[in-house]
Amino acid sequence: MVGATGALGKFVAHRLVASGLDLLAIGRSEKELKALTESSAHIRYCVADISEDSAIAKIAQQVDRTVRMAIHAPGVPVAGGVLDASPLVLAQAVNIKAGGMLRLFRAVESHLVRGSRLVAVGGHYGFEPTAYAATAGVANAALTNLMRQLSWALGERGITAHLVAPGPAETERLHAIATASAAKRGVAPAVVLDEFRQDSAIRAFTSPEQVAWGICLLLAPEADAMAGSSLMLDSGRRHGLP
């Protein structure tokens, strides 16, 4: 799993272990990875930068058994709104999200079997663009397309690809987006966060626990029926159909 030490990833990691799986946590910070592994004997780690092609070999060397699920849940840099975002930062975000997923797939491909899952964590802004979350919107839109391509490419082998689209989830990243938007408008971040809540049909943010629940649903054999689909965990934010 890429991103297992993140705000969402920690909850996913522990729920996967509770489901009876062993986990290989992948990330750049050995300190954070070590801290995560200390929480369970069923977690080990691999230090690799998923934004670089060198990660493919590093991850592959650590995989020695069948992979039931490969999860890609990295964070991306916050670049503010589309009017101010750096094109370079935008490209970096796409590289991490879409390029990183492709690298993870190539690292584990030889260990995928019928019933294995490729799961990418995208986000609400990939489906509902805004003026204030450029990297999240563009990178997650690219990731959504990639997962559909992988679904078609791997479907005949019984390997399914899925996108989980939370959000916005109540994490440090959300607060960073709110702070950037607030600074641009000259208001307090709390005002922006309250506006975000109003965008939800139930006036709530999606929690990390709910994201972990959604990902673990895909372990069921019945989840074959969700091949190529996007699991929307947005607390009722989408207006578009379907």
- Per residue in 33-43, pLDDT (tens digit) is 999 999 999 99
Q: Report whether pLDDT(177) > 80.
A: no
Q: What predicted TM-score, i.e. pTM, was given to this entire model? A: 0.93
User: Given this structure, which CATH class describes domain 67-233?
Assistant: alpha beta
Q: Report whether pLDDT(12) > 90.
A: yes
Q: Report whether pLDDT(173) > 80.
A: no
Question: Residue 88 and residue 240: Cα distance in Å, rounded?
Answer: 30
Cβ neighbours around 66 below 10 Å, total? 11
Question: Residue 201 and residue 192: Cα distance in Å, rounded?
Answer: 17
Look up residue 134 and give its amino acid: A
DSSP secondary structure string, 81-141?
-TTT--HHHHHHHHIIIIIHHHHHHHHHGGGEEEEEEEEEE--GGGTS--SS-HHHHHHHH
Kindly state the average pLDDT of the residues 7-19.
97
Please state, in angstroms and as integers, the Cα–Cα distance from residue 205 to each residue in 8, 45, 124, 193, following that order: 13, 30, 11, 10
Question: Residue 62 and residue 76: Cα distance in Å, rounded?
Answer: 25
β-partners of residue 119 are: 71, 162
Q: Where are the domains of the chain?
A: 67-233
Kindly state the average pLDDT of the residues 194-216.
96
Q: What is the pLDDT of residue 78?
A: 82
Kindly state the average pLDDT of the residues 15-42.
98
Please state, in angstroms and as integers, the Cα–Cα distance from residue 160 to each residue in 12, 90, 164, 172, 180, following that order: 19, 28, 13, 31, 37
Q: What is the pLDDT of residue 105?
A: 99
- Which tens digits make up the pLDDT trace of 91-143? 999 999 999 999 999 999 999 999 999 999 999 989 999 888 899 999 999 99
**Low-confidence winner among 52-66, 140-154, 178-192, 218-232 (lowest mean pLDDT):** 178-192
Q: Report whether pLDDT(171) > 90.
A: no
